[in-house]
Structure 1
Amino acid sequence: MRSGLLFLPFISFFSAVLAIATSKAYSSQPIIGLALWVIAGISLLAWLVLDASNISRMFRRKGAKHGLSQGVSVILAVTLVLGIGFVTKRDRFNKTYDVTKDGLNTLTVESTKLVNQLKSNNQKVQVLAFFQDEAKKAQFNKLLALYKNAAAPLAVEYIDPQTDPTRAMAESITVPDTVLFKLGKQESRLTSFSEEKMSNALVRIMKDREHVVYFLSGHGEPDINSKDPVGLSLAKAELEAERFVVKQAKLLDLGKYPDDADLLIVAGPRYDLLPAEKVILEQAMLEAKPMMFLVDALVDLPNIKSLVADAGIRLNDDLLIIRPDDPRGQILGQNNAIAAELDQFSPITADFAKRGSVSIVTANTRSLEVLPDSKLHLKTVTLAKTDPVIIKVKDVRTEADIKTSVKESQVEAGSFNIYAISTGLVGGDKVADNAPAPKDPSSAPKAPKELRIFVGGSSQLAANLGGQRGENLDLFTNAVNFLLQDEDFLSIRVKDSDASRLDLTTQSSQFLLLFISFIYPLLFFGAGGVYWFQRRRA
């Protein structure tokens, strides 16, 4: 064989290996793989044509049979490695290893649950990505990779609104770099990208119906549309973003519990319920209507306290403040309570507890206690305790009590409960064990239903001032979802930083395998062969 032409089969084989390695790594640009296959074919054909006489002579030599068998062995070995390359193209070989301490580059448990729920329901989300900014597109692609590694059923389509303005207009795209998520008739839009926002976008389109949430009014409660520090506009906006219908109602005007209400929230009342209103809410509890009570300190509300006590929770007459010698009091204001010890088992607070560094800060806060027995016989779990820097001023029912001199015996240091949840079965008809089954299904005894009650010692959890801290609104939203028995749709919180990770995807693992197995050895032996032929001819 002519040594000067031996580079042609080397180039042919090298190009074929690269074509296999890049066919999926650059699947969006198939021209690269096609060009490499063309180079491989042309190089092989050129070698066979230009060195045809020497190749023919080689097969007519003595010992050609032995050489042929060796050649077949080499070809089989090469075919085996190329076959391994093809096999590794399959997606089941995707592996991602998150090497960060807190798993910053993998999906949270809540996000993974959403992905699994989509898969179990055989639902596929259509994702329309309208990008002009390549940097934002790259940010979205990096986030999208987390969901693809979890096998999220997402059908992604990229559309340039400049080259396809008709499509952008059809989807009402008015903001650059918008991603549209669609599932059935539901849709959600994102213009900034994080796991928190993307998972919550999936939550919105996965909900099969809109829950109606009422805020009670008529007792000095903040307005749901007010943007004042004590207003509830942020909480309203947060709930509406998750496809809740938010309303406000006066029980006395309705004369009953709202017919369309899925949840009633009593947030920040300044005056107590009237006896008739208390009766309405007592009956609603027996009918397993979920409720949330957020009651500030220094407000005397005996009827509301009685309702909460029926659920197994006592609202104490006290005020929690930051210890005067603690520097956080200078930053936050002394009239604040800091909840740092969060329950790690409740779905409302489990993610906060896992993160470890989350604090819930609220003003005008009172403590709670779990009653050993209650009228409704519910199971009560405390969700958050204050930081040890908090002190409790006891026996203060109103602001007038705190303005008078406070005795040393009224001050107590420690950790105090400020949020609790009560759950249990209520209602239903009592049936004797030996009672015969009814012949008429309509006369069958009613089964008991589950009642859920959330109680907080401050309305700042939902108020605009407290809502400026994202953790407060997240806890509030989680509690709402829990009360409505939508634990699968709890808020997903963003992770703190974006550290490095080690990715071994289909394309990268395939390329790594081929590089180690073939590309590097071929380069090494090819360079050595060229050097050997040059020395031989010298």
Structure 2
Amino acid sequence: MAWIDRNRLFNILGYAGFTLCVVTAIAYGIMPEKIQYIWIGWLIGGPGVMAYVVGNFETVKTYLKRRSARYGANAAVLVMLFLGVLVFVEAISAIHYLQFDLTANKYYTLSDQTIRLLQGLTEPVHVTAFFQEAARTREEAKDLLSQYANVSRRFTFEFVDPDRFPGKARRYKVTTYGTIVLECGTRDQKVTELSEEKLTNALLRLIRKGEKVVYFLSGHGEKSIEDRKKGGYSTVKEAIQDQNYAVKELLLMRAHEVPEDAAVLIVPGPQKPLFPIELEMLEGFIDRGGHIFILLDPETQTGLEKFLKEYGIEVGNDIIIDKLSRLFGGDYLTPIVSKYALNHPITKNFNTASFFPVARSVAPADIDDPEVETTRLAFTGESSWAETDLEKLEKGRASFDEEKDKRGPVPVAVVSTVKIDKSKKGKEEEKNKEEGGNKSVSVHARIVVFGDSDFASNSYLNLSGNRDLFLNTLSWLAEEEDLISIRPKKRENTPVVLSYTQGRVIFWSSVILLPGVVLVIGIIVFRSKGS
């Protein structure tokens, strides 16, 4: 059996180890984010270099005695000291960094609200961004996430290519590129639109203490949150749960009142009238400052029509017809909602069309109550109208009647904010007595009424802007729409415009003068050495 020469073995290990260390250093310079894998190369290559030194100790010792070796060692020590200073400065800058944003509109500076939120984090938050390796928006997302991570060590992030790691994308239920998943403990939030406002709001919902409860009224033929058929609301339930809300059904006759923990009560398309005692319970909920989301279908009499009029909302006994909907593959009874109230938090900056299959009009009622403030939230197009002759419509002979029908744009959603003055009672009654009697407090009840419930059903929720409109409304009712409102920053294009004279000066100074000076100096040095 042939034995490998000992010196040759050490040489092979040394050269291989040195090569591996160099390749690892280059890899680190190209992909510093992969440091958790790159250090393995140094761990393997280092012992190889050490083996070479041990195996050739006499040769190394003899070489170090030379004068050139001493000079080289001094240079190496200086280089190592210089590198050590650089590493020290890099380590210090990683902890205590200072950056300057020189853009005109502070494009690379986070808002004060976001900074305060990040500085107040008490739990680690990890972000997984699902972007393709070559996606143009990847660098923009990395810049934004890096700004968050620079403010707080508890905020970390990583990028995952869903094409290379489909299993991880499935585990997080990611179906679109550019999705960002925030995790804190067992909770998570998803962001599909990259902006500081969206990311910060998701972070706020993620670290929110406690769980808000959304109740769905049942017992009158409403849409069921457990129904997975086309007309059910199971998709809505999942969408609400994804926003970290608890979702429950509520049978008022059994509960005797709307529960105290109800953040929002949703009435999803009742088909039968509510009992008078149930309407009294709803009134009591509003008097407590409750928030109600009511979706009423056409050709139904639920008792809510008269009830809502007291709060400034009038529900029309009609059906909206929109001829424009035929262009989008629908029929006349599926109006397109493309106009929204720009001054309301629900629809601010909302510019996506929504589709309401078979809807009725909803408009502010003419009441004299200064405590009630109403806003038209969403409208159909100008080619639509609210048809009041339902018998004629059923026979297929509907046409616009100037005297009876409402010409478009027709409002299909109205918001009512009710200011309620009341005295603290119940659990605080004894405390109030000790402090000198009942205290007058003011609360604001919130009511939103849509003239259709099918737009949020399993068939239509993910159509165009339906989902966002529903969830925006829920967030406003749950008093979370104004957690963070950050005006988006735009990149400003400010080109440098030079006059003809300025352009010529720059050309001659940079292209002719400076290279000419270098050339002349070179000639002088060459001639001086030659002489």
The TM-score, its normalising length taken from structure 2, stands at: 0.63
- CA change 1:174–1:274 in 2 (3 A) is closer
Looking at structure 2, the residues matched to 527 and 206 of structure 1 have their Cα atoms a distance apart, in angstroms, of 64
Show the counterpart of 1:370: 364
Show the counterpart of 1:122: 120
- CA change 1:133–1:238 in 2 (3 A) is closer
Looking at structure 2, the residues matched to 173 and 524 of structure 1 have their Cα atoms a distance apart, in angstroms, of 62
RMSD, aligned α-carbons = 4.8
Give, as a single letter, the amino acid of the residue that structure 2 aligns with 1:145.
D
Give, as a single letter, the amino acid of the residue that structure 2 aligns with 1:291.
I
1:315-354 residue pairs with structure 2 within 5 A?
315-323=315-323, 326=324, 328-329=326-327, 331-352=329-350
Looking at structure 1, the residues matched to 108 and 320 of structure 2 have their Cα atoms a distance apart, in angstroms, of 38
- CA change 1:422–1:273 in 2 (3 A) is same
**Where in structure 2 are there 5+ consecutive unaligned residues?**
1-28, 36-67, 72-92, 161-167, 425-431, 495-509
Show the counterpart of 1:419: 413
1:92 to 91, 94, 100: 100
Give, as a single letter, the amino acid of the residue that structure 1 aligns with 2:408.
G
Give, as a single letter, the amino acid of the residue that structure 2 aligns with 1:418.
V
Show the counterpart of 2:306: 306
Looking at structure 2, the residues matched to 283 and 116 of structure 1 have their Cα atoms a distance apart, in angstroms, of 40
Looking at structure 1, the residues matched to 199 and 452 of structure 2 have their Cα atoms a distance apart, in angstroms, of 30
Q: Deviations over 1:337-364 (max 9, x none)?
A: 2222211111111121xxxx42222111
Looking at structure 2, the residues matched to 300 and 180 of structure 1 have their Cα atoms a distance apart, in angstroms, of 43
Show the counterpart of 2:188: 188
Show the counterpart of 2:376: 382
In the TM superposition, residue 318 of structure 1 has moved relative to its aligned partner by: 0.7
Show the counterpart of 2:227: 226
Looking at structure 2, the residues matched to 372 and 132 of structure 1 have their Cα atoms a distance apart, in angstroms, of 51
Show the counterpart of 1:530: 522
- CA change 1:524–1:231 in 2 (3 A) is farther
Looking at structure 1, the residues matched to 172 and 396 of structure 2 have their Cα atoms a distance apart, in angstroms, of 60
Looking at structure 2, the residues matched to 272 and 256 of structure 1 have their Cα atoms a distance apart, in angstroms, of 18
Show the counterpart of 2:294: 293
The answer (yes or no) to whether the contact 2:354–2:464 under 8 Å persists in 1 is no
2:386 to 378, 383, 392: 392
Give, as a single letter, the amino acid of the residue that structure 2 aligns with 1:91.
Q
Looking at structure 2, the residues matched to 524 and 233 of structure 1 have their Cα atoms a distance apart, in angstroms, of 76
Show the counterpart of 2:142: 144
Looking at structure 2, the residues matched to 182 and 333 of structure 1 have their Cα atoms a distance apart, in angstroms, of 43
Show the counterpart of 2:90: none
In the TM superposition, residue 264 of structure 1 has moved relative to its aligned partner by: 0.6
In the TM superposition, residue 260 of structure 1 has moved relative to its aligned partner by: 2.6
Give, as a single letter, the amino acid of the residue that structure 2 aligns with 1:236.
K
> Secondary structure, in 3 states, of the residue corresponding to 1:135?
coil
Looking at structure 2, the residues matched to 175 and 483 of structure 1 have their Cα atoms a distance apart, in angstroms, of 27
Looking at structure 2, the residues matched to 174 and 482 of structure 1 have their Cα atoms a distance apart, in angstroms, of 26
- CA change 1:501–1:447 in 2 (3 A) is closer
**Where in structure 1 are there 5+ consecutive unaligned residues?**
1-24, 32-45, 50-85, 99-104, 162-168, 431-437, 504-518
Looking at structure 2, the residues matched to 147 and 160 of structure 1 have their Cα atoms a distance apart, in angstroms, of 10
In the TM superposition, residue 305 of structure 1 has moved relative to its aligned partner by: 0.7
- CA change 1:132–1:343 in 2 (3 A) is closer
Looking at structure 2, the residues matched to 175 and 359 of structure 1 have their Cα atoms a distance apart, in angstroms, of 24
The TM-score, its normalising length taken from structure 1, stands at: 0.62
* Higher relative contact order, chain-length normalized (CA < 8 Å, sep 6+): 1
Q: Deviations over 1:168-194 (max 9, x none)?
A: x9xx999999976456x5742669784
Give, as a single letter, the amino acid of the residue that structure 2 aligns with 1:135.
E
Looking at structure 1, the residues matched to 485 and 367 of structure 2 have their Cα atoms a distance apart, in angstroms, of 32
In the TM superposition, residue 207 of structure 1 has moved relative to its aligned partner by: 2.2
Give, as a single letter, the amino acid of the residue that structure 1 aligns with 2:223.
P
Q: Deviations over 1:485-537 (max 9, x none)?
A: 222358999x9xxx99879xxxxxxxxxxxxxxx9999886565435544664
Q: Deviations over 1:46-90 (max 9, x none)?
A: 9xx9xxxxxxxxxxxxxxxxxxxxxxxxxxxxxxxxxxxx9xx94
The answer (yes or no) to whether the contact 2:374–2:417 under 8 Å persists in 1 is yes
User: Identity, % of aligned pairs?
Assistant: 22
Q: Deviations over 1:15-74 (max 9, x none)?
A: xxxxxxxxxx99959x9xxxxxxxxxxxxxx9xx9xxxxxxxxxxxxxxxxxxxxxxxxx
In the TM superposition, residue 290 of structure 1 has moved relative to its aligned partner by: 1.0
Looking at structure 2, the residues matched to 534 and 295 of structure 1 have their Cα atoms a distance apart, in angstroms, of 93
- CA change 1:199–1:276 in 2 (3 A) is same
Give, as a single letter, the amino acid of the residue that structure 1 aligns with 2:241.
E
